[in-house]
Structure 1
Amino acid sequence: MKLLNNFFNTLLLIFVLSVSCTSDDREQAIVLPEGDYNQGLFILNEGGYGYSNASVSFLDTDGQVYNSIFSGVNNMNLGDTAQSMGFYGDNAYIVVNNSSTIEIVNRYTFQYIATVSDDIVNPRYIVFDGNKGYITNWGDPNNVNDDYVAVLNLDTNLVEYKIPVAEGPEKLVSNNGKIYVAHTGGYGYGNTISVIDIVSEKVISSIGVGDVPDDLLIDSDKLYVICSGKPDYALNETSGQLIKIGLSSGAVESELTFPQIKHPRFLDIDGGVLYYILENSIYTVNTSNFQLPQTDLFSLAVSGVKTPYGFKIHENKIYIADAKDYVSNGEVFIYNLTGEIQKKFTVQIIPNSFYFNN
């Protein structure tokens, strides 16, 4: 009788999980049991702006894809426009831009812990140092003077201070007691990197770079910044740049300008080689000679990538998030470092970033 009861309980559980999914999710979304997210890859799906359909997908080590894991585990929506995510300790911090929230979950179970909303306005990205999280905020995009970096106490989940910064703070990195913030300019076009001292929680310097710094990373005491340049619809279109900054001096050591008004995006590094995307192709720059290449490494269009919207290098693999037409479900493409495709799978609307939980 006990076996029979277990059988019917299992059938009931399957039925409940099936009917709890929306019709859009039912073909793809499978909710994993609690605790099954300790190894694998999270894909953040931005969702349509204003539609409150942001989501998180998960690729496990067996190659199985699970969608809508936040809503599946917590029976609640993630919110409007998932921008980015970060890990600290056992927690994951999901930055939800248009909802102006930080959703905190356990990174291994994805169980909801808390929502941070006070003193968070148009948040973008988060980094950590000590027991603090540092979150870039646009504030009101129409106000050029209200942008800031929120200092989040990770013990209390309260914002304890706001550091005023230049307009349009975006991606940021933490290194040796300082935080480097790229200013894309919000609704405008920025061209600086703010340097924040963590102890004083003040901006101590500003480094001039190219127009619209899109991404940045630190390697071997150097800060590398890729700038996309002002777009073709701007009044004065400008070309992108790749810039190397010495962290000891805080000065620009070298800057490479893309010829013929090109607009590169994204930046990552593997084994002393920088990777970026330009016109739907992958290009590389060796940090030792720091010269722009004449040809691409490989084309993304050949394998069907339409709109590269997220990019990551991890363990000799290249991960591309394809937003497609921004309204249909997106795709993820995984390549080896020579451009041979290893895996392709469907996620949800506007995948924008990758986070490895291992």
Structure 2
Amino acid sequence: MKTSFYKCISMLFILFVISISCTSEDRDYIAPLPEGDYSQGVFILNEGGYGYSNASVSFLDVDGQDYSSIFSGVNQMTLGDVAQSIGLYGDNAYIVVNNSATIEIVNRYTFEYITTVSSDIMNPRYIAFEGNKGYITNWGDPNNVADDYVAVLNLETHLVEDKIPVVEGPEKLLIYDGTLYVAHKGGYGWGHTISVIDLLTKNVTSSIPVGDVPDDMLIDDGKLYVISSGKGDYTLDETPGMLHKINISDNSIEKTLTFPEKRHPRFLDINNEMLYYTIDNEVYTISTDDFVLSETPLFSPEDDGLDLLYGFKIHNDIIYLADAKDYVSKGAVFMYNLRGLLQNTFLVQIIPNSFYFNNI
């Protein structure tokens, strides 16, 4: 009995020491993932055909299972006409539907409908977030070059509380250190600037000249990289594509690369100090240090059956490509490693255009 008693005392002492040594200050707390059918995976936005109201969202989960039309499947309602982009922020997903002139807000983990924003929204394009505000680029009336703006959405009330006037054709936007950068492709015209907006005053403080039709941009290590397609030959006023490296401390252009004649880049992303960009159906790379255009592509997805490269993103060392096919058939997704070797491909819905990553 005495031996058993001391054994019990010893065990209690050991448990006490363990409980003291494993406090919350000494170990990392791993928060549980949010619950919902779409808590982990990739959203693929399918814009659908113009005028057909057949926009949709597909989903690829972490086990490699793909699902179609999750918005309508969950909510028993259509998404709308021409889904342009998605913004993920907080617990919500904000789906920008261009031709329907709406922002459809859903829970990003369950995809259950929350509300629709339609007031003070006109031809919306893209959305970015800061604090409790969402900033949405709007073309306004595409035939009016003077009514374009960035709508300021209150994320708590879901109301547009302000508009920031900008020049024609605002498209993609990003926020860095209290500053909003807006690329102007030009709407029905041809833009060639980046607006710089102070979010505190909501004023355009400067305009950075870039190449015609700035398609994509990103910020890395204090530099703003902007890729511009240039005007195509169909405009009868063809201009070259360009890639700019801009110092965001003073908005000065450090270097400009001009693409060869008839070569019009479109998408841009970065991974480990390497820029990846696309021309037609090919993927190229360029070092942010050397900053010299590549003469040969990293890989050509056409060899694997891709018909029309329409969306591009890199995440967790995987290159995602959207294939719009012929704009009326089901589109496809192609996934590659960073060496350009095909990892996976699957069908989605009509005209896939972009990828959004949820907890992966």
TM over 0.5: yes
In 1: Cα distance, 2:296 partner to 2:231 partner: 23
Shift of 1:261: 2.8
Letter in 1 for 2:108: R
Question: How much does 1:294 deviate?
Answer: 1.4
Please state how far the C-alpha of 1:286 moved relative to its aligned partner. 0.3
- Cα deviations by residue, 1:79-138 (Å, 9 ceiling, x for unpaired): 000000001100000000000000000000000001000000000000001110000000
Residue of structure 2 in register with 1:61 after alignment = 62
Matches within 5 A, 1:19-98: 35-98=36-99
Deviation digits for residues 287-311 of structure 1, max 9, x if unmatched? 0111101111111110111100000
Q: Any idea what SS the aligned residue of 2:284 has?
A: strand
Q: Which moved more, 1:187-196 or 1:253-262?
A: 253-262
Aligned residue runs from structure 1 range 178-197, under 5 A:
178-197=179-198
Q: Which residue of 2 aligns with 1:273?
A: 274
Match of 1:149 in 2: 150
Is contact 2:280–2:309 with CA below 8 Å preserved after alignment?
A: no
Cα distance in 2 between the residues matched to 1:54 and 1:151 = 25
Within 2, Cα distance between the matches of 1:260 and 1:101? 39
Q: What's the CA shift for 1:279?
A: 2.5
Query: In the alignment, which residue of structure 1 is the partner of 2:140?
Result: 139
In structure 2, how many angstroms separate the alpha carbons of the residues matched to 1:172 and 1:234?
A: 25
Q: Could you tell me which residue of structure 1 aligns to residue 24 of structure 2?
A: none
**Given residue 295 of structure 2, which amino acid in structure 1 is its aligned partner?**
Q
**C-alpha separation in 1, matches of 2:232 and 2:139:** 20
Q: Which residue of 2 aligns with 1:233?
A: 234
Structure 1 counterpart SS, 2:325? coil
Amino acid at match of 1:124: R
Question: Partner of 1:22 in structure 2?
Answer: none
In the aligned structure 2, how far is the partner of 1:298 from the partner of 1:45? Answer: 24
Q: Please state whether the residue corresponding to 2:292 is helix, strand or coil.
A: coil
Residue of structure 1 in register with 2:322 after alignment: 321
How many residues end up aligned between the 2 structures? 325
Q: Which amino acid aligns with 1:267?
A: L
What is the alpha-carbon distance in structure 2 between the residues aligned to residue 112 and residue 285 of structure 1? 41
1:202 Cα deviation (Å)? Answer: 1.1
AA partner of residue 71 (structure 1): S
Q: Distance in 1 between the 2:313 and 2:80 partners?
A: 24
Map of 1:128 onto structure 2: 129
- Classify the secondary structure of the residue corresponding to 1:49: coil
Q: Name the CA distance, whole Å, in 2 between partners of 1:83 and 1:68.
A: 15
C-alpha contact (below 8 Å) 2:222/2:249 kept by paired residues:
yes
Cα RMSD after superposing both structures: 0.7
Aligned to 1:290: 291
SS at match of 1:73: helix
What do residues 6-41 of structure 1 show as CA deviations (whole Å, max 9, x unaligned)? xxxxxxxxxxxxxxxxxxxxxxxxxxxx81111000
Q: Which letter maps to 1:42?
A: F
After superposition, residues 302-313 of structure 1 pair within 5 angstroms as 302-313=303-314
Shift of 1:236: 1.1
Q: TM-score normalized by structure 1?
A: 0.90
C-alpha distance in 2 between matches for 1:76 and 1:227: 37
> Deviation above 2 Å: which 4+ runs of structure 1?
none
For residues 152 and 217 of structure 1, what CA distance do their matches in structure 2 show?
A: 23
Q: Flag structure 1 segments of 5+ consecutive residues without an equivalent.
A: 1-33
> Residue 142 of structure 2 aligns to a residue in which SS?
coil
1:61 deviation in Å?
0.8
Q: Deviations over 1:324-344 (max 9, x none)?
A: 000000000000011110000
SS of alignment partner, residue 156 of structure 1: coil
Q: Deviations over 1:215-247 (max 9, x none)?
A: 000000100000000011113101100101000
Letter of the structure 2 residue corresponding to residue 41 of structure 1:
V
Partner of 1:244: 245
The match for 2:214 is 213
Please give the TM-score of this superposition, normalised by the length of structure 2.
0.90
Tell whether the 8 Å contact from 2:193 to 2:214 is kept in structure 1 after alignment. Answer: yes
Please give the alpha-carbon distance, in whole angstroms, between the structure 2 residues aligned to 1:88 and 1:260.
40
Q: Which amino acid aligns with 1:170?
A: E
Conservation of the 8 A alpha-carbon contact between 2:135 and 2:152? yes
Kept in 1: contact 2:331–2:350 (CA 8 A):
yes
Helix, strand or coil at the partner of 2:234? coil
1:251 deviates by 1.0
Matches within 5 A, 1:345-356: 345-356=346-357
Larger Rg: 2
Q: Give the distance between the partners of 2:246 and 2:175, measured in 1 at CA.
A: 15
Amino acid aligned to 2:111: F
1:158 lines up with 2:163 in the alignment: no
Residue equivalent to 1:256 = 257
